Amino acid sequence: MPEKEQEQTLEGVTAEQEETCEVEQDEALEKSQEDEELVESQTDEEVEEVDEVAALEQQLAEEQNKYLRLLADFDNYRRRQTQEADNMRKYRAQSVISDLLAVIDNLERALATTVESQDAIALKEGVEMVQRTLMEALAKEGLEVIEALDQPFDPNVHQAVMTGSDSEKESGIVLQELQKGYMLNGRVIRPAMVQVNE
């Protein structure tokens, strides 16, 4: 083969190789760009998924918080309702008992009178039985007499209407009970009217 032909053939082969290399480089560059785009699109999708997961987690936390608040509100409501029902049960008779206190006072006044005849004594015993039965029935409802005589004055259960002076007793001691006081299940429904030592 002549030298020129060889050079042309070599040049042709080299040109083909260069073209092949350029095509391969172009293909590699395109593939690289496609891979980058794919990675970018995957990264965008992953970022979107992460954002969506974070948003769902935040929404779940908010819903759990709402649920816990509602549960606490319901517990408070139920406790309040139970307490109100207990109070209604405990103090259901308060208005009737308050009205009966005047009757009790009158019975005690009747019992405080001095009687001498047999008929009056028998009548007094009958009044005493009625008073005792009434007090037992009211005690079952939770009525208690407030202790006052010779007790230290307590403004929560006593009402001082006058003062007195007794050197044998300490200051602030109740000297005389003018009207009995009553409590219903621990609640004062009428304070005792008292005279207090100065």
Q: What is the pLDDT of residue 138?
A: 92
Q: Above 60 in pLDDT, residue 188?
A: yes
Q: What is the pLDDT of residue 169?
A: 84
Average pLDDT over residues 111-132: 90
Tens digit of pLDDT for each residue in 142-151? Answer: 899 999 998 9
Tens digit of pLDDT for each residue in 12-66? Answer: 555 566 666 666 666 767 776 666 665 565 566 666 777 888 889 999 999 999 9
Please indicate whether residue 167 or residue 13 has the higher confidence score (pLDDT): 167
Q: What is the pLDDT of residue 186?
A: 87
Tens digit of pLDDT for each residue in 89-114? Answer: 777 888 888 899 999 999 999 898 88
Q: What is the pLDDT of residue 16?
A: 60
Average pLDDT over residues 166-180: 88
Amino acid at 110: A
Q: Which residues contact 149 (CB under 8 A, 6 or more apart)?
A: 174, 176, 177
Determine the CATH number of domain 91-197. Answer: 2.30.22.10
Average pLDDT over residues 7-16: 54
**pTM score over 0.85:** no
Domain range list for the chain: 1-90, 91-197
